[in-house]
Amino acid sequence: MLRATILFILTSFVLVGCHHTDNNNSNAPSNMSDTLQQGAAGHYAAVNGLKMYYEIYGTGKPLVLIHGGGSTLQTTFGRVIPSFAKTHQVIAVEMQAHGHTADIDRPLSFTQDADDIAELLKQLHIDKADIFGFSNGASTTLQLAIRHPELVNKIIVASTFTKKSGAQPWFFDMMASATFEQMPQPYKDAYMDINPDSNALHQMYLRDVTRMQNFPETSDELMKTIKAPAFIIISDNDVVTPEHAVEMHRLLSQSQLAIFPGGHGEYLGELTMPYDSIVVAGMVAMVEKFLQEKK
DSSP sequence for 269-295: T-TTSPP-HHHHHHHHHHHHHHHHS--
**How confident is the model over 41-48, as a mean pLDDT?**
94
Burial class (CB in 10 A: 0-12, 13-18, 19+), 105: exposed
Model confidence band, residue 208 (pLDDT cutoffs 50, 70, 90): very high
Ranges of beta strands (E only) in the chain are 42-47, 50-57, 61-66, 88-94, 129-134, 152-158, 230-235, 255-260
pLDDT tens, 243-287?
A: 999 999 999 999 999 999 999 999 999 999 999 999 999 999 999
pTM of the model: 0.89
| Residue at 163 is within a domain | yes
Total domains in the chain come to 1
Rg of the chain over all Cα atoms, to the nearest angstrom = 18
pLDDT score at 40: 61
| Residue at 191 is within a domain | yes
pLDDT tens, 84-117?
A: 999 999 999 999 999 999 999 999 999 999 999 9
pLDDT tens, 183-198?
A: 999 999 999 999 999 9
| Residue at 100 is within a domain | yes
| Residue at 254 is within a domain | yes
Parent domain of 58: 9-292
pLDDT tens, 150-182?
A: 999 999 999 999 999 999 999 999 999 999 999
| Residue at 2 is within a domain | no
